[in-house]
Structure 1
Amino acid sequence: MTTHQVELLFLDLGLILLLARGLGALAGRLGQPPVVGEILAGILLGPTLFGSLVADRLFPADVRPLLGALANIGVALFMFVVGLELEHRFLRGRVRITVGAATGSTLVPFALGIPLAFFLLRNHPTEQRAAFVVFIGLSVSVTAFPVLARILVGRGMSRLAIGGLALATAAVVDVAAWSALAGVQAVVGGAGGYWQVSLLVPFTVLLLTLRPLLRRVLTHGAPGKGLTPTGMAVVMVGIFLSGTATEAMGMHYIFGAFLFGALMPREGTEATREELCERTGEITSLLLPVYFVVAGLKVDLRGVGLEGLTELAVILLVAIGGKFGGTYLGACSQGLTAEDSGTLAALMNTRGLTELVILGVGLQLGLLDGPLYSLMVVMALVTTAMTGPVLNLIEARSARRAPAVVPGPGAGGGAVEEDMATAGRQGRASG
């Protein structure tokens, strides 16, 4: 690296963190998850607002690969945390309703995404038409599990019945989404044939056999001392080697990091895993804003005309209508009340960083061109930002109807409705 590259790299990192933290804090004051402000920071530093001249001077071609490397590390660690935060206990006692809601939340938007893909193919042709159709269906079906979890905590809903159901549903949807993305990556980006994908089975078995060793490493040391430096190093090695393995299989490294996190030992490691999430989260909080900027540099909305706005409107209609309607119908079919189903549907419409990661893979594979990638990023931003206001509307409606509800002995659903009212009060108090 030259002195000029070092200077620009450090300048860029300082500017990225400053703007991301500032807009993230502003988003929080407006009742939005910080990721909304951080994504917006990435877009603002790109060519959309200041043009390519400013973006090229701030982030020249010889510095962008360095920023991209840091961004990749941040995304790998983020995906590990996503897998680590998946909990089997979310499904206890709610398997039937979770499966029903997750099925509607996945299949309905995916089915609507198929005609959307053919509509978009008119102006965004690709040689991989079948993979493009599957990818578009997948991109409108995803839910951001980490952002959803943080929204629930911020609104005081994480320990309530509807919050646990949302986490369980999002976990199932996440696993389905990353598995489907791995399949698309293998079909489109496989370098030496599809046989490498079959190596995922023995690789998964290998990770499962290593769980006792990982448990011993995580719990090694004096009681109450927490995660040791050796344990942290072993986990980091596992993340990067797992990412290397799935990348070599023709899939994306993010799938390996996610799989390693999902297969980490659970029993007897609760405190250590919580500490691991916190310490890894500290690293990702510094590196993920770099990913937002790297993604934002590829977003250029200056040339969006009437046709582009029409495409954006259709994308938003399918993404919001499919996700909200599918989740709502799936939850109602399992006996959930209309208000609880609406709350769950609003939460599942959150996409956040998870959507950006998937879109980045699509751009890398050549399934998305620049203009379509830009429109899809806007969709991710809008659907994430609308979650809070929609929840506020549902809570306000529930509060207006609450005095007229007189629950009888053994009334079903009353506990969840009371939880929702309590969550609204807690969320407003925390704000």
Structure 2
Amino acid sequence: MIMVGLALILALAHLLGRLARRCGQPAVIGEIVAGILLGPTLFHGALSETLVPVDTRPMLTTLGNLGVALFMFLVGLELDYRLLRGNGRTTAGVAVGSIVCAFGFGVLLALYLWDDHSVEHRLAFLLFIGAAMSITAFPVLARILTDQGIQHTRIGALALASAAVGDVAAWLLLAALLTLTGSQNSWQVLLVVPYALAMVWVLRPLLGRLLAAPARGRRDPEDGAVEQGLSATQLATLTALLLVSGALCEWLGVHFIFGVFLAGAIVPRRGTERLRAAVRDRFETIIWMLLPAYFAVSGLKVDLTTVGGDGLGELGLILLVAIGGKFGGAYVGARFAGQSGRSATTLGILMNTRGLTELIILGVGLQLGLLDTELYSLMVVMALVTTAMTAPLLRWAYPSRMIDADLRELAEQRIGEPKYTELARPVGAKRPEAG
């Protein structure tokens, strides 16, 4: 039955994902909607229990988590540090501004919601809503940037870096919440920083020597150059690295997606261009099959039948706080860092992307009893709305002519670097569709 459930989820998720892309939205919107359609919202759960029985969902969740892990590893693997040179002030300003502002408004919102959605731990509830409002969905943001063809621009790099910093802070806060609710030992959280330092300063040099070892390759018939391939040992090493790093982060109280992202980020960049391309080719097919399962299973937990008239009013307030807090904080932070109004507006729009990471945090809150089903459903709708509005607003704030100009400028600065020659494309040229 697990195979039938996975096949059904994949078919519906990819169908709605393609429809979402035709509407100018990231595929994740359609994939989450697929889960909602399969969930208890329609026919009071009869459809979901028939098509995706409860006993098959843990295995589907495991497969979805594997897809998320591989995707986040590739995001770290493709992170371009050179785009961040001289932009540390802006990254810090956007990250801190968006977190502080969104968190503060989120706590005030939680005080209002407490009467109707009270839980055992009031302080944990207040902090959780604040943390949930502070989230930017790092992997979904990466997909949107890729869809728009701006992942290699300065704005794209700034947005990714700011989202990474902000999400690490949010996950550390979530780890503190787990400690507060008795779900996590406090001393483990203290090991997060030493672990990250060990990955960068100890494991990275060792990994560089291993990946520098010659692998089997093939000779290009045009220029005679030998293209380095990916050996089975190297592939097994990188796969084991991302899995172990994710598991260790889970043990430390930080979600596994940051462990696998860190594993990809520490892979040396110099001399590994072809090897990283080979890794990307191997993983992308698996990701294409498994990632929709995670979005769909998350949607299965949403029950919109519990939302009444009062719930719609709460949804409006949640959206106002979520959008205003992230945009306002990111905009002010970027302006204080010396960015132009258009750049600050673009970063504020991008920081409102929630999607995947928001769903992960909301799932944790539901599991810990910090959210009831109604509030969980409203927060999922908020995540969908804030993610859906990102692409159209981004096209308004950062039009194609500006993207083309930025990419040409970047290519001219890096003339002679094969990896970046493809960035120089004619104005108006169609970008390749993301998978």
TM-score w.r.t. length of structure 1:
0.84
| From 4, 10, 26, the counterpart of 1:11 | 4
Shift of 1:296: 1.3
1:198 aligns with 2:197: no
> Structure 2 matches for 1:26-425, cutoff 5 A?
26-188=19-181, 190-191=183-184, 193-208=185-200, 209-220=202-213, 221-222=215-216, 224-394=227-397
Contact 2:35/2:297 (<8 A) preserved: yes
Aligned to 1:407: none
C-alpha change, 1:249 and 1:322, in structure 2 (3 Å) is: closer
CA deviation map 1:91-119 (0-9, x unaligned): 20222222222222221111111101222
C-alpha distance in 1, partners of 2:386/2:425?
22
How far apart, in 2, do the equivalents of 1:273 and 1:261 lie? 10
Instruction: Give 1:28 deviation, angstroms.
Output: 0.8
Q: Deviations over 1:24-60 (max 9, x none)?
A: 1111111111111111111111111243111111122
What TM-score, normalized by structure 2, do the two folds share? 0.83
- The offset of 1:417, in angstroms, is 13
- Unaligned 5+ segments in structure 2 are 218-226, 410-423
Query: Any idea what the Cα deviations from partners look like across 1:150-209, whole Å, max 9, x if unmatched?
Result: 323332333444333333333332333333333333443545x42233344554454342
Q: Percent of aligned positions with the same letter in both sequences? A: 53
Q: Tell me the amino acid that sits aligned with residue 194 of structure 1.
A: S
- Residues of 2 paired with 1:427 and 1:312: CA distance? 40
Whole-Å separation in 2 of the counterparts to 1:128 and 1:283? 40
CA contact (8 A) 1:90 1:167 kept: no
Contact 2:119 2:125 (8 Å CA) reproduced? yes
CA distance in 2, matches of 1:197, 1:58: 40
Moved more, 22-31 or 352-361: 352-361
> Structure 1: how far apart are the matches of 2:152 and 2:57?
42
Change (3 A) 1:273 1:423: closer
- Structure 1: which amino acid aligns with 2:99? T
CA distance in 2, matches of 1:106, 1:382: 19
- Contact 1:186–1:197 at 8 Å: present in 2 too? no
> CA offset at residue 373 of structure 1?
1.3
More deviation, 281-290/238-247: 238-247
Q: What residue number does 2:220 align with? A: none
1:42–1:289 CA contact under 8 A, matched in 2: no
CA RMSD across the alignment: 3.0
Q: Matched residue pairs, number?
A: 406
User: How far is the alpha carbon of 1:9 from its aligned partner?
Assistant: 1.2
Give the match's secondary structure for 2:242: helix
